[in-house]
Structure 1
Amino acid sequence: MTWNIVCDSSCDLRISDLVSDAARFDIIPLKLLVGGEEYVDDGSLSIPKLLQAMEGSKDASSTACPSPDAFAQSFLQADYSICITISSQLSGTYNAAMTARGMVLEAHPEKKICIIDSKAAGTVSALIAFRAKELIEAGGGFEDVARALREYAASLRITFTLCNFSNLIKAGRMKSFVGSVLTNLGIHVIADNTPQGTIHIAGKARGEAKTYKSIVKMMAENKSLDGLPVTISHCENLSGAMKLKQLILQELPVSSVTLYSCKGLCSFYAMEKGILVAY
């Protein structure tokens, strides 16, 4: 039996990040609509160009989830498929994947397809994908793998920080005056995800150092991190991600901290210098 691990592009992974002889890996791109131009969130998308277009556009930008057919074409490539999507509370991607599942199973009832709502964005999906790889390589059966991944997904959290609010202002989610005050004072918004997959504003901090200390403190309070992997994805902010990585390794008993650069979807929301931590 052949296996397929499928993520949408919010996972911040590249195809080369997950390689296995036991399973193929596929990334289904979302689309970003900025200033009347469509950007496909695939491996060729220039993040600096995207950020520049968003900064230069006076109108609110938007995103578009993949079509069910895009997921269906991927599911057809294997006997067993594990698909991980961005939170269903943030995008229609999960619903598109579920529709694709129904389409494929109607024509090929022998296939098995598990759709997992990550209840988050960013590398929470990556952590689930890597765990799927481990379970598949260990020889797990489909039902056992799917059950274990759902339990693992429910245990994951994401904490993120923003210091650029222009996209939120244009989208009408933040008043211009408030955004300007936060920016001028060097204040970073710190947020995490709820169990339902929505965004929760957890606090604010002034300056980079205090922000990272607040994130580490929040991580320690949210769950036990003994021996667990952590991933950090950043939007054009490698130096900040490195500082946060060092602080996490210094303060928390994690097994590893891996850095990734945000692809289009997460860059769209995090904006320049945004940082997302999955654990």
Structure 2
Amino acid sequence: MIWNIVSDSSCDLRTEDFSSDKVAFELVPLRIQVGSQEFVDNDLLEVPVMLAAMADEKTASSTACPSPAAFARAFEKGDKTICFTISANLSGTYNAAVLGREMVLEEHPEKEICIIDSKATAGAMVLLIRKAKELMEADTTGDFGSICAQLRLYQAALRTCFTLENFDNLIKNGRMRPLVGTLLHSLGIHVIADATPQGTIHVADKARGEAKTYSAITALMRDSKDCAGAEVVISHCENITGALKLKERILADLPVKSVDVIPCRGLTSFYAMEKGLIIGY
């Protein structure tokens, strides 16, 4: 029996970061269109090159979700597969995965495939993948339904928040007026947002300067859930210094179990832009 975990590339996990003798893992990449250039969000993508292209491009860049066939190819490799996707309210990726599941089950009805909408992205998806791996490796009965149920409960308890410093992408996509973006940037104001339980984005706060921003983030985390023993993953877009400072603040302010720092992949870099930080906990 082959246990299989599949995720789209918004999870920020690299294939090389996953290791198991019992569980297979595969990433299905999204694509980023910048002018006439297309960037595939796989392990070979050079994020700084993509960000430079976005900065040079005057028109709005866009993203494209994987095809159902791409998910089907990943699902076919396992007997029991659990798939995590970026929030269905942010992308068509979840629907593509559902169609991919239907394609596989038509040919292989004996396979078991569970698709879970993370209602988030980045670190929250990393935590879901780690939990799935832990449950699969510990399993002795092959109780697929029980593992899926546990993961759905775990997903409901996870939270995501993020902070932005660069607003160019929001401006180019018409989601922020140029004057507002310029003013926020010149004043050193950071936007702090979180993901709702439905997987949509909610602007929670604004703060001026790093110290106040990180304090506001830990306050938001404290108010959103009991963080005692929580695992935290910080994804950073070309901002390891800021991520490490935020890690110190989280460890000082909250009773969390651990804080890991990882770089953003292409899709999350597209949204977070340079200096952006995404926190899953």
What band does the TM-score fall into relative to the shorter chain? over 0.9
1:203 aligned counterpart, secondary structure: strand
Residue equivalent to 1:100: 100
Render the CA deviation track for 1:75-99: whole Å, top value 9, x for unaligned: 0001000000000000010000000
- Structure 1 CA distance for aligned equivalents of residues 108 and 143 of structure 2: 19
- After TM superposition, list the pairs within 5 Å mapping 1:143-162 onto structure 2: 143-162=145-164
Distance 1:16 1:253 in 2: 30
Written as runs of structure 1 = structure 2, the 5 A alignment for 1:147-186 is 147-186=149-188
Give the CA deviation at 1:104: 0.5
The offset of 1:121, in angstroms, is 1.3
SS in structure 2 opposite 1:45?
coil
Structure 1 residue 250: deviation in Å? Answer: 1.1
Aligned with 1:73: secondary structure?
A: helix
Aligned to 1:74: 74
**Superposition misfits of 4+ residues, deviation over 3 angstroms:** none
C-alpha displacement at 1:16, in angstroms? 1.7
Secondary structure, counterpart of 2:203 in structure 1: strand
How far, CA to CA, are the matches of 2:248 and 2:20 in structure 1?
29
Higher mean displacement: 72-81 or 134-143: 134-143
Aligned to 2:13: 13
Distance 1:36 1:162 in 2: 26
Within-5 A mapping of 1:29-178: 29-139=29-139, 141-178=143-180
What's the TM-score, normalizing by structure 2? 0.98
**Which residue number in structure 2 is paired with residue 237 of structure 1?**
239
Aligned residues: 279
C-alpha separation in 2, matches of 1:23 and 1:203: 40
Q: What SS is found at the alignment partner of 1:131?
A: helix
Give me the whole-angstrom Cα distance separating, in 1, the residues matched to 2:109 and 2:228: 41
Q: Deviations over 1:84-136 (max 9, x none)?
A: 00000000100000000011011111000000000011111110000000100
Give the Å deviation of 1:276. 0.4
Aligned runs of 1:211-250 on 2, under 5 Å? 211-250=213-252
C-alpha distance in 1 between matches for 2:206 and 2:98: 36
Structure 1 gap segments, 5+ residues each: none
Question: Partners of 2:88 and 2:94 in 1: how far apart?
Answer: 5
Q: Which deviations, in whole Å up to 9, do the C-alpha atoms of 1:169-217 show, x marking residues without a partner?
A: 0000000010010000000000000011000000100011110010001
SS of the equivalent of 1:182 reads helix
Q: Percent identity?
A: 58
Distance 2:228 2:196 in 1: 22
Give the match for residue 28 of structure 2: 28
Amino acid at match of 1:188: H
Residue aligning to 1:271: 273
Report the alpha carbon displacement of residue 12 of structure 1 after superposing the two structures with TM: 0.2
Between the aligned partners of 1:250 and 1:210, the Cα distance in structure 2 is 14
